[in-house]
Each structure stands twice: as structure tokens, then as C-alpha cells.
């Protein structure tokens, strides 16, 4: 870590302010619509209780056996221990943990400063200028958990024609929806290294989202970045490199938003583990604090968010955790300083679900929308905004211009995506319910108030056009790690590229392991919160309902020619079965053995796995199964093909070098087309071309101190110091010269490629700093900033209230006084605009091409195949006081080459690609002395050609 680095990011005292600002902590239960329109749709929760402090322990075991109840009790005991531990830490540390360990950044920059959004802001300004105070507040506040058909719903502004916005998870499919695609996970998509597939997957996902009636898709995900290989939600993102994440996110966003759906990039920022990510979820009253320096933030964790903003993303979701002891969603430096000023973000910042921790404080710090609208606990009807935001505006705590900016940002994003077009969104409500599969139901099942039922599920089918695309992503996202002559295998039993016949007679193939089969069905556990059957998704809010799941066993059995191949399946991991029936292994020529490792979001637990994995071992005895199959297959003479499905890296050291392990396919999380995608590679219909989006180490400790999950709290506010700075994943392995098992970017093919004739062309001259920040290309809209008549906020006489529903109204305004408000420290200090800013994604000069690298690639092998040239940059060594990684990814492309074909590929490197973040100058700086090195090859450690600039 650079010793001159500054700690960043705070809510600037928002945690302290909560004790001062009782007027910002809301206590209202209401419903906006008139009685005539309030009766609509929605039944019971799809299994499991409503979220709460114990929900992560209760949900997986709803309706389960006595054994599961016992496990629940054990987990509750662990929760009690953690809570007791929190009490001990309270006793040990007499003073409260520090807050606000970075400079404040106020006031919140206004949206509407860029020409590319100017028309949308003009339309939005006209609409917002006609809104009442309750309508403005309504748009910023979620109605509450289970207070609508979607997982998130805002209130409408009926009189001006602005609808309730419907928000839905997630990154790989439409959570809780029927008849929609369960796409390959983000980590599988990242492993394709295919920009076209990034876009097409986003476009398909966006189309289905719109057809289901959802305005805002809560994805893609680039946080967590993947600092810790056992992190529970790493699989939702695209890999452990910021450049890869940024490109994948930007193309996904373009695809989603080309379909008129608002994309949401999440989670901002440093939400790298599930343990202690959220208040009370692990028994502690506060979330973990990710303590991170300025340079590391910019060059790693915030990097892909800049790409996303550059792509025009409509929304950014702030995360649960603290950053430098300030909650991310109350953090003025993060939201005002970095997102809205430095990165030029024109859309709206929403909270993760219950990540908002203060009322006035979060509004001043730059939060624009609170989700799901509840207060500090699920379904409490005590929103921190809603009626209390109305009160805060009326008493002067939240300036009127801050409220106007919140609202105009949301409405401008709605216009920017063309959602005022009734042909795109003919109905206000989704055509499915997140809470029931029944046709009829109520609109707000979280409310105890009686409601009339109506049709909530129309069972609209949207998935069929995307079957082939989902299969292609899954196939290209599968990585061939080892192949010693056994793959591909033809349908009639010929083996290897040479297509040899092993012997006369039928080829005997055995399929082994639970992970090859259907288990109890793909949707057996809510939110996929258990490991059973073949693994095709991780668990949590990033999961989706499977419309179907094609298993590997099903595909292999269907595709092999039964006249030439005898295939048997044994879909069990229990070694006792195989020991009692030795012939099932002894009779095989080739054995396919399947194993997996699962993880997910921390509100669910599967056995002892509380979101984050406990280690990198295969689960359910997978390592033991592989070793046994290898030993006994064909009486020790058969060939074994290992297939792994996993949320991230696994430790392979027990079996990877066994001589009869002839091939290893790493299939990641392939989604609904799992079996057919795998079959394409096994049968040679597609030449394997996936690349590892992370490093697979020889042991968990090889990832270094920064790669280890914090499983036990080290304080009442757990402190997680990112002391490794820039050195995560392959950067760590390179810096400390650690040999990985398989490096980042690695992946084999059935053919071979040669790189030659690398050339560098200078496009622009080197210069230390980018061009001066340009003036705003548009003027933010202006509004009447006078405090409205308090009478506007009173309850309408004809409005029916729903219990626990969040409304913008007040029962009385008699107690409202406009006393001087104690604004946080630094609120009156004028902030100099960042010279790194000036447009979407930052200073426009950062995105200009400064150098182009070209290289020739030739297919020198026996068959056609796709190649993924990767470019890694090494900084000049002329500034020894600055610590640079050995190499960083700065380019990749993917294309097909026929046998013997040669093509030239070009990489355009921008100023940002060539720069580092200078914490003193607070800007991106290019090294102008010495030479940059550009190495090109097929992985981070296979780089045969190098050029200098």
C-alpha cells in the first residue's frame, strides 16, 4: 500500500447524527393510492418467513426434517455465541468505533450537467416542477418489503403521470419470475472473454425483463470484485480483475438498456464477503468496515463502476458494509465525491435492501432512492424517508433542492430509457408476483390490512428465443484445464483429436456423482439455498427460478450412440455404494466424475456454509469421490474426466496430478442449459475456448492475507483492512512469485495458436495529466427552492391506509419548526470539482486512445477454434517510489481461426489504461519517462510476445 495513500469515504458523521436527527428516522404506515385503485394483487410469501435478524438461519429449513431443525438449533447457537462475542467487544472497547475517517463531500452534485442526458432532464424538470411534496417523496421511497409485486416498488406521482417503478433482481435471471431464462452466472459469462456475448446476454436478459413488466433490473454485479476466492457472491460478478469486470459490465449494461430497461450496477463498494456484511445479520449491531486506501479504491474496486457509468447506466446500488467506518449508503465521499462529481454519474443512487442507516444523513450524502423503503428492520413500516422525509424537508433539515435533485435524477433516468413509451410499458404492474405462484393474490401481502384479490400471475412466457444463446454462453464459459488425449469423444465412441478407437466392441462410459444429475429438482430450495443435484447457480438474491435444467447425465445419455457406446449413470457421492458395487467402476473404459462447490448470499445458510464458503474444498465428499473413481475406473486402467461446477476456485491438489485424470473441465455455473453446453465440448461440436476469470491456487493460503474470509468478528464493528492494496488474485501471485495451479486467463483448446509480429503505434504523446476538466455541457434544471406549504403533506381524507406500507404523508404538521439544523462537519465547505471528472465515467481524455498494439495470431493446430489474445501492461520502472503490479490486464479479444488461418488483432489502450491514481494530485497520472511493456498471449503467464512504448 502506498504510504502516502489517504483513507477515503465517510458518511461524515451520519452514525453520530442518528442520535440527533429523530426527525429523519421515520415511523409511518401508509398507502398512496385512492381506495378505488388500491385493490389489486398478491398472495403468500414463497416459503420461509419474512426477513429479519434470524432469517439467514430459518429460511433454508422451512418445512424440513428433524435433522434440519437440529442443524438450525446449532446455527442459532453459533449466532448466540457471535452475539455474546459482540458484547465482549463492547466491554473491551469502551469507546465507540471511529466514524467518518475521510473528508466530507457536500453538497450533492446536481444531475443534468451532460449533453447526453439533457433532453431527458428537460422533460423530467417539467414533470417534477408540477409535483407536490408527497409525490416527490413517493418517488424516492420504496413502499416496503412485500408491498408490491416486485422485490422493490416506489410510490407513483399519479397527478403528473409518473408510475410506480418496479425493481427486480437480478444478475442472471429475473428472480421469482416464471417462464424466464436462468442464464449462466456472471462468473461463467466472464469466463467467455467474449464481448459480443456480454452484450447479447444483457440484451436478452433486458428484453425478458421488460416483457415481464420490470422497469429496473438489479444487475449487473461487479462488487464483490473477488478479493477473496471463498467470497459467497463472487459468482455474481465477472471475475477477479477490474478491467475484465468493467468491460463485461459495460457491454451487459448496453444490452440491457438497449431494451428500454434501467440497469443497476452494484454493489458500491468493497462488499467483498458475506460474513458481517449487514447489521444484525450475524448477531452484531453493525456491519463490517472495509478499510481501503484511495489508490486501491480507484484502481481496483471502483474501476468497473467507472466503465458502467461511461456506458450510461441508470442506477448505482450502494452496499451494506461500511467503508472506512462509514456506511456506504450514508457516505458523502463515495456518492457525492466519487460517483456524482468525479465519475459524472447522471442517474440515481439506490440503497441495497435495508442498507440505508440514516434519514437526513443519507439524503445529504447523496442517496436518491431507498429500497425497499422499510426502516432499520424488514417490514417495520417505519421508513427512514417516506413521511419523515416530508417532515425533514418541511423543517429545513433536507434542503428542497436536494429533494428535487433526487427526484429529477430518477425521472430523468425513466425518460432516458424511453419508459414513458406506453408501447414498451403498457401496464404499471409486473405480470408476475414475487410472492406466490398462484394466479390470484393481493398486491401487498406484507400488510395485515385486508385486501381484495386480483390476477397477479399471468404466466407470460419470455424465454424461448434465448435458449441457444444461453447454451453458447455456458459452453464458451467452460474452461478446459487439462486434456491428455481423451477429449473430444465422438458420439460413436472415438477418443481424442485423432478419434481413436480404444478397443473392439462398445465403448463403456460411466457417469458418477450427484452433481451430474437432477437431485430433487432445480428449484427444490428457495433462492437455490442448498447444494443438491447438479450445480448451475449460486444462492441468494442473485439467483433465478429454473424454467428447466438440462443435467449433464441427461445430455450425455441422450447424445451417445447406444449402438456404439454403453453409458451408465450412478448419481451418488456415497463411497459405500461404490464399494458395495465395485463392478460399476471396474467395467468402464472412461469415467466422467462430477463434483461441485456452492456458496451464495449471507441471508441464507446451507449446513455450515453461511454464504461465504468455509474453504476451497469440493463439497459433499467430492474429493473423496474423484480419488475413488480414478483409482477404480477400469480396474485402474480407465481414463477419468473430472467435471467441476463451482462458484469460484477449488483446491484440486489431491487429484489433479493423478496419472489417470486425463481431462478436467471447469464448467463454473452454466444455468439452465448446463448439460447440453457441456456436451458440445465433450463431443467436439465446439472447441473449448473459455478462460479462467480468476486464479486457481495450490492452497487457500497462497492468496495471501487479503484473500482470507473473516469468519469471526474482531470487534463490535469488525475491521477488515485491505492491507494488500492492489495485490489481489494474479497480481498477488506475480508480486510474490507464487506458482498457481492454473493462472488467471488460462484455458486449453483442442488446437494450438502462435503469436507473432507484435507492433506498437503511438496515437497521442505521453503527458502526465489528462486535459483540464471540460465545462459542463448542459445546465442542471432549476426549481423553486422555497419550502412548500406544510398542509401538502397531510393525509388525504379519501385515502385508505395499508398497515406497514410506506407513505409520504403526515398525521399532523403542528410540531414542524424550521430551527437551525446542525449540518455535518464540512457541509459549508465549497468542494473543488475533481479534475478527474467532466463526463460520464470521468474526464473525457481518460477514454481517449493513446497507443495501439497489434499482433498476428495463427492457428497452428489440427482443428478450427476460437482464440482469446490477452494484453497485459507493465509500467515503466523509472519511478521506484511508486509501487506497480508486475502486470495488469488491459486488453482482450475473441475470434475464430480456421486450421492454418492467421489474423491480426488490435488493442487500443486509453489514457486511463496507462495511468495510475495519484493520491496527492487526486488525478490519473501517466508515467512519461521510461517505457511501457505490452505482453500478449493466452494467459497472465503465457505471454510469448512483448513490445515497448
CATH of the domain at 341: 3.20.20.300
Q: Are residues 868 and 938 in the same domain?
A: yes
Q: What are the tens digits of pLDDT across the range 740-764?
A: 999 999 999 999 999 999 999 999 9
Distance CA 551, CA 555 (A): 6
What are the grid coordinates assigned to 291, written together?
478499510
3-state secondary structure of 328: helix
- Compute the mean pLDDT over every residue in the chain, rounded to the nearest whole number: 91
- Backbone Cα Rg of the chain: 28
Distance CA 268, CA 277 (A): 13
Distance CA 440, CA 589 (A): 54
Q: How far is CA 619 from the centre of its chain?
A: 23
Angle of the 400-416 helix axis to the 387-394 helix axis, nearest 10 = 130
User: Does pLDDT of 38 surpass 60?
Assistant: no
Q: What are the tens digits of pLDDT across the range 829-858?
A: 889 999 999 999 999 999 999 999 999 999
User: Does pLDDT of 778 surpass 90?
Assistant: yes
User: Does pLDDT of 22 surpass 70?
Assistant: no
Distance CA 727, CA 736 (A): 10
Contact between 840 and 120 (Cβ < 8 Å): no
Instruction: Note whether residue 620 is domain-resident.
Output: yes
Q: Which helix (H) or strand (E) holds 852?
A: strand 849-859
Instruction: Please report the DSSP string for 625-657 in residue order.
Output: HHHHHHHHGGGGTSEEEEEEEESS----TTTTT
Q: Are residues 365 and 486 in the same domain?
A: no
Q: Are residues 850 and 905 in the same domain?
A: yes
What pLDDT score does 819 carry? 87
Angle at 917 between CA 292 and CA 893, to 5 degrees: 100
What are the grid coordinates assigned to 642, written together?
473430472
Instruction: Please report the DSSP string for 745-756 in residue order.
Output: T----SS-EEEE
Q: Are residues 370 and 472 in the same domain?
A: no
Q: Are residues 359 and 497 in the same domain?
A: no
Sequence-separated (6 or more) residues with CB below 8 Å from residue 108: 332, 335, 336, 340, 364, 365, 366, 402, 405
Residue from 166, 37, 164 nearest 432 by CA: 166
CATH of the domain at 850: 2.60.40.10
What pLDDT score does 96 carry? 43
Three-state SS letters, 384-435: CCCHHHHHHHHCCCCCHHHHHHHHHHHHHHHHHCCCCCCCCCCCCCCCCCCC
Q: What are the tens digits of pLDDT across the range 138-163?
A: 999 999 999 999 999 999 999 999 99
**Cα torsion for 32, 36, 41, 45, to the nearest 10°?**
50
Q: Is 845 a catalytic residue?
A: no
Residue with grid cell 463515495, as numbered in its chain: 334
As a whole number, mean pLDDT of residues 331-354 equals 98
Domain endpoint, select from 641, 666, 692: 692
Instruction: Note whether residue 743 is domain-resident.
Output: no
pLDDT over 90 percentage in the chain? 86
Contact between 29 and 803 (Cβ < 8 Å): yes
Q: What are the tens digits of pLDDT across the range 63-73?
A: 344 454 444 45
Phi/psi zone of residue 381: left (φ > 0), alpha (ψ -120 to 50 degrees), beta?
left
Q: Are residues 678 and 762 in the same domain?
A: no
What pLDDT score does 254 carry? 98
Instruction: Please report the DSSP string for 158-199 in residue order.
Output: GGGTBPPPEEEE-SSS-TT-SS---PPPHHHHHHHT-HHHHH
Q: Are residues 159 and 247 in the same domain?
A: yes
What pLDDT score does 226 carry? 98
Residue with grid cell 488474485, as numbered in its chain: 729
Domain endpoint, select from 692, 708, 741: 692
From first CA to last CA, the distance across the chain in angstroms is 27
Q: Which helix (H) or strand (E) holds 622?
A: helix 622-632
Distance CA 917, CA 770 (A): 12
What pLDDT score does 98 carry? 53
What pLDDT score does 43 carry? 25
Other CB atoms within 10 A of residue 362 CB: 30
Residue 77 burial (C-beta neighbours within 10 Å; 0-12, 13-18, 19+): exposed
Distance CA 326, CA 367 (A): 14
Query: Which residue range is the domain that position 844 belongs to?
Result: 753-773+836-948
Query: Are β-strands 507-512 and 902-910 bridged in parallel, bridged antiparallel, or unpaired?
Result: unpaired
Residue with grid cell 393510492, as numbered in its chain: 33
Q: What are the tens digits of pLDDT across the range 918-930?
A: 999 999 999 999 9
Q: Are residues 136 and 245 in the same domain?
A: yes
As a whole number, mean pLDDT of residues 796-810 equals 94
Name the band, by pLDDT with cuts 50, 70 and 90, for residue 77: low
Distance CA 530, CA 129 (A): 50
Query: Are β-strands 923-926 and 565-570 bridged in parallel, bridged antiparallel, or unpaired?
Result: unpaired
Q: What are the tens digits of pLDDT across the range 186-232?
A: 999 999 999 999 999 999 999 999 999 999 999 999 999 999 999 99
CATH of the domain at 570: 3.40.50.1700
Query: Are β-strands 322-323 and 216-218 bridged in parallel, bridged antiparallel, or unpaired?
Result: unpaired
Residue from 766, 759, 936 nearest 853 by CA: 759
Q: Which residue has the higher pLDDT, 197 or 57?
A: 197
What are the grid coordinates assigned to 444, written together?
401487498
Q: Which residue has the higher pLDDT, 818 or 223?
A: 223
Sequence-separated (6 or more) residues with CB below 8 Å from residue 643: 515, 516, 552, 592, 593, 594, 595, 664, 665, 667, 678
Q: What are the tens digits of pLDDT across the range 84-140?
A: 444 444 333 334 445 556 679 999 999 999 999 999 999 999 999 999 999 999 999
Q: Are residues 156 and 256 in the same domain?
A: yes
Number of domains in the chain: 3
What pLDDT score does 36 carry? 29
Distance CA 108, CA 106 (A): 5
What pLDDT score does 878 carry? 94
What pLDDT score does 127 carry? 98
Contact between 532 and 520 (Cβ < 8 Å): yes
3-state secondary structure of 41: strand
Residue 122 burial (C-beta neighbours within 10 Å; 0-12, 13-18, 19+): middle
Instruction: Please report the DSSP string for 557-601 in residue order.
Output: HHHS-TTTEEEEEE----HHHHHH-THHHHT-SEEEEEEEE--B-
Instruction: Note whether residue 6 is domain-resident.
Output: no
User: Does pLDDT of 482 surpass 80?
Assistant: yes
Active-site entry in 11, 178, 352, 839: 352
Distance CA 105, CA 341 (A): 10
User: Does pLDDT of 8 surpass 90?
Assistant: no
Q: How far is CA 34 from the centre of its chain?
A: 38
Query: Are β-strands 262-268 and 166-169 bridged in parallel, bridged antiparallel, or unpaired?
Result: unpaired
Residue with grid cell 447457480, as numbered in its chain: 537
Distance CA 153, CA 166 (A): 5
Three-state SS letters, 279-312: CCCCCCCCCCEEECEHHHHHHHHCHHHHHHHHCC
User: Does pLDDT of 886 surpass 90?
Assistant: yes
Q: Are residues 292 and 358 in the same domain?
A: yes
Query: Are β-strands 507-512 and 590-597 bridged in parallel, bridged antiparallel, or unpaired?
Result: parallel
What pLDDT score does 703 carry? 98
Contact between 2 and 96 (Cβ < 8 Å): no
User: Does pLDDT of 722 surpass 60?
Assistant: yes
Domain endpoint, select from 692, 713, 728: 692
User: Does pLDDT of 20 surpass 70?
Assistant: no
Distance CA 738, CA 579 (A): 39
Distance CA 25, CA 843 (A): 38
What are the grid coordinates assigned to 288, written together?
463490517
Q: Are residues 234 and 379 in the same domain?
A: yes
What pLDDT score does 100 carry? 53
Sequence-separated (6 or more) residues with CB below 8 Å from residue 126: none
Instruction: Note whether residue 14 is domain-resident.
Output: no
Instruction: Note whether residue 486 is domain-resident.
Output: yes
Instruction: Note whether residue 678 is domain-resident.
Output: yes
Instruction: Note whether residue 497 is domain-resident.
Output: yes
* Global pTM value: 0.91
What pLDDT score does 932 carry? 98
Q: What are the tens digits of pLDDT across the range 258-298?
A: 999 999 999 999 999 999 999 988 889 999 999 999 999 99
Instruction: Note whether residue 681 is domain-resident.
Output: yes
Residue with grid cell 443438491, as numbered in its chain: 532
User: Residue 734, preceding bond cis, omega within 30 degrees?
Assistant: no
What pLDDT score does 28 carry? 28
Q: Are residues 230 and 312 in the same domain?
A: yes
pLDDT over 70 percentage in the chain? 89
Amino acid at each position: 500500500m502506498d504510504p502516502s495513500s489517504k483513507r477515503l469515504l465517510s458518511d461524515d458523521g451520519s452514525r453520530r447524527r442518528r442520535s440527533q436527527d429523530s426527525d429523519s428516522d421515520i415511523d409511518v404506515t401508509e398507502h398512496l393510492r385512492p381506495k378505488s385503485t388500491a385493490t389489486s394483487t398478491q398472495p403468500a410469501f414463497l416459503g420461509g418467513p419474512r426477513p429479519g435478524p434470524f432469517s439467514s438461519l430459518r429460511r433454508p429449513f422451512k418445512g424440513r426434517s428433524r435433522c434440519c431443525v437440529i442443524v438450525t438449533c446449532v446455527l442459532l447457537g453459533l449466532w448466540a455465541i457471535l452475539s455474546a462475542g459482540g458484547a465482549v467487544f463492547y466491554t473491551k472497547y469502551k469507546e465507540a468505533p471511529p466514524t467518518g475517517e475521510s473528508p466530507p463531500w457536500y453538497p450533492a452534485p446536481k444531475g443534468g450537467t451532460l449533453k447526453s442526458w439533457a433532453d431527458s432532464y428537460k422533460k423530467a424538470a417539467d414533470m417534477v416542477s408540477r409535483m407536490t411534496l408527497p409525490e416527490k417523496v413517493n418517488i424516492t421511497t420504496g413502499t416496503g418489503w412485500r408491498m408490491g409485486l416486485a422485490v422493490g416498488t416506489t410510490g407513483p406521482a399519479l397527478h403528473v403521470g409518473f408510475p410506480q417503478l418496479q425493481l427486480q433482481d437480478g444478475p442472471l435471471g429475473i428472480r421469482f419470475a416464471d417462464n424466464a431464462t436462468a442464464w449462466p452466472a456472471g462468473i461463467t459469462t466472464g469466463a467467455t472473454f467474449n464481448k459480443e456475448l456480454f452484450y447479447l446476454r444483457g440484451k436478452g436478459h433486458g428484453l425478458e425483463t421488460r416483457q415481464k413488466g420490470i422497469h429496473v433490473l438489479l444487475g449487473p454485479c461487479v462488487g464483490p470484485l473477488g478479493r477473496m476466492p471463498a467470497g459467497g457472491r463472487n459468482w455474481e460478478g465477472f471475475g477477479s480483475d477490474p478491467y475484465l469486470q468493467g468491460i463485461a459490465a459495460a457491454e451487459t449494461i448496453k444490452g440491457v438498456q438497449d431494451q428500454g430497461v434501467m440497469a443497476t450496477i452494484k454493489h458500491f463498494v468493497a462488499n467483498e464477503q458475506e460474513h458481517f456484511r449487514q447489521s444484525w445479520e450475524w448477531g452484531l449491531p453493525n456491519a463490517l468496515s472495509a478499510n481501503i486506501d484511495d489508490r486501491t479504491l480507484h484502481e481496483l474496486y471502483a474501476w468497473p463502476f467507472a466503465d458502467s457509468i461511461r456506458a450510461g447506466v441508470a442506477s448505482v446500488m450502494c452496499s451494506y458494509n461500511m467503508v472506512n467506518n462509514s456506511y456506504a449508503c450514508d457516505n458523502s465521499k463515495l456518492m457525492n465525491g466519487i460517483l456524482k462529481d468525479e465519475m459524472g454519474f447522471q442517474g440515481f443512487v439506490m440503497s441495497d435492501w435495508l442498507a440505508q442507516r440514516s434519514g437526513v444523513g443519507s439524503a445529504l450524502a447523496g442517496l436518491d432512492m431507498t429500497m425497499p423503503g422499510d426502516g432499520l428492520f424488514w417490514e417495520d413500516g417505519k421508513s427512514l424517508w417516506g413521511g419523515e422525509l416530508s417532515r425533514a424537508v418541511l423543517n429545513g433539515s433536507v434542503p428542497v433542492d436536494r429533494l428535487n435533485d433526487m427526484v429529477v435524477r430518477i425521472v430523468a433516468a425513466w425518460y432516458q430509457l424511453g419508459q414513458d413509451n406506453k408501447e414498451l410499458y403498457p401496464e404499471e404492474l409486473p405480470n408476475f408476483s414475487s410472492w406466490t405462484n398462484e394466479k390470484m393474490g393481493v398486491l401487498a401481502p406484507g400488510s395485515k390490512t385486508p385486501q381484495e384479490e386480483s390476477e397477479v400471475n399471468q404466466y407470460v412466457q419470455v424465454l424461448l428465443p434465448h435458449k441457444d444463446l444461453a447454451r453458447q454462453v455456458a459452453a464458451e464459459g467452460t474452461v478446459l484445464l487439462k486434456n491428455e488425449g481423451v477429449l473430444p469423444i465422438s458420439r460413436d465412441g472415438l477418443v481424442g483429436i485423432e478419434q481413436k478407437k480404444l478397443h473392439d466392441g462398445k465403448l463403456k462410459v460411466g457417469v458418477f456423482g450427484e452433481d451430474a444429475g437432477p437431485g430433487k429438482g432445480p428449484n427444490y430450495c428457495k433462492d437455490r439455498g442448498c447444494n443438491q443435484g447438479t450445480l448451475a447457480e449460486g444462492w441468494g438474491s442473485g439467483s433465478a427460478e429454473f424454467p428447466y435444467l438440462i443435467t449433464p447425465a441427461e445430455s450425455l445419455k441422450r447424445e451417445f450412440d447406444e449402438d456404439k457406446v454403453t453409458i451408465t449413470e450412478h448419481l451418488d457421492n456415497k463411497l459405500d455404494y461404490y464399494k458395495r458395487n465395485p463392478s460399476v467402476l471396474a467395467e468402464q473404459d472412461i469415467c466422467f466424475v462430477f463434483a461441485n462447490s456452492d456458496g451464495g448470499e449471507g441471508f441464507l445458510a446451507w449446513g455450515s456454509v453461511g454464504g461465504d464458503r468455509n474453504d476451497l474444498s469440493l463439497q459433499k465428499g467430492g474429493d473423496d469421490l474423484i480419488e475413488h473413481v480414478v483409482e477404480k475406473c477400469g480396474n485402474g486402467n480407465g481414463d477419468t474426466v473430472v467435471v467441476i461446477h463451482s462458484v469460484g476456485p477449488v483446491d484440486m491438489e489431491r487429484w489433479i496430478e493423478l496419472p489417470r485424470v486425463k481431462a478436467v473441465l471447469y464448467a463454473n455455473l452454466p444455468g439452465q442449459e448446463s448439460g447440453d453446453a457441456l456436451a458440445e465440448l465433450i463431443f467436439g461440436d465446439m472447441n473449448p475456448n473459455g478462460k479462467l476469470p480468476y486464479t486457481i491456487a495450490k492452497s487457500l493460503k497462497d492468496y495471501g492475507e487479503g484473500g482470507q474470509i473473516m469468519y469471526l468478528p474482531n470487534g463490535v464493528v469488525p475491521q477488515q483492512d485491505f492491507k494488500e492494496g492492489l495485490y489481489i488474485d494474479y497480481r498477488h501471485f506475480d508480486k510474490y512469485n507464487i506458482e498457481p495451479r492454473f493462472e488467471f486467463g488460462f484455458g486449453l483448446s483442442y488446437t494450438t495458436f502462435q503469436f507473432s509480429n507484435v507492433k506498437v503505434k503511438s496515437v497521442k504523446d505521453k503527458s502526465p495529466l489528462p486535459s483540464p476538466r471540460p465545462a459542463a455541457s448542459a445546465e442542471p434544471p432549476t426549481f423553486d427552492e422555497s419550502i412548500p406549504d406544510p398542509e401538502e403533506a397531510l393525509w388525504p381524507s379519501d385515502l385508505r391506509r395499508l398497515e406497514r406500507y410506506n407513505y409520504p404523508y403526515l398525521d399532523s404538521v403542528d410540531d414542524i419548526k424550521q430551527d437551525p439544523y446542525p449540518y455535518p462537519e464540512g457541509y459549508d465547505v465549497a468542494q473543488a470539482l475533481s479534475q478527474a471528472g467532466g463526463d460520464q465515467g470521468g474526464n473525457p481524455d481518460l477514454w481517449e486512445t493513446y497507443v495501439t498494439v497489434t499482433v498476428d495470431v495463427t492457428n497452428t493446430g489440427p482443428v478450427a477454434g476460437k482464440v482469446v489474445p490477452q494484453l497485459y501492461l507493465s509500467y515503466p520502472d523509472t519511478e521506484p517510489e511508486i509501487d506497480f503490479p508486475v502486470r495488469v490486464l488491459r486488453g482482450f479479444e475473441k475470434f475464430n481461426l480456421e486450421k492454418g488461418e492467421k489474423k491480426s488483432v488490435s488493442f487500443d489502450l486509453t489514457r486511463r489504461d496507462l495511468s495510475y491514481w495519484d493520491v496527492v494530485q487526486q488525478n490519473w497520472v501517466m508515467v512519461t519517462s521510461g517505457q511501457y511493456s505490452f505482453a500478449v498471449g493466452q494467459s497472465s503467464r503465457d505471454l510469448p510476445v512483448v513490445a515497448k512504448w
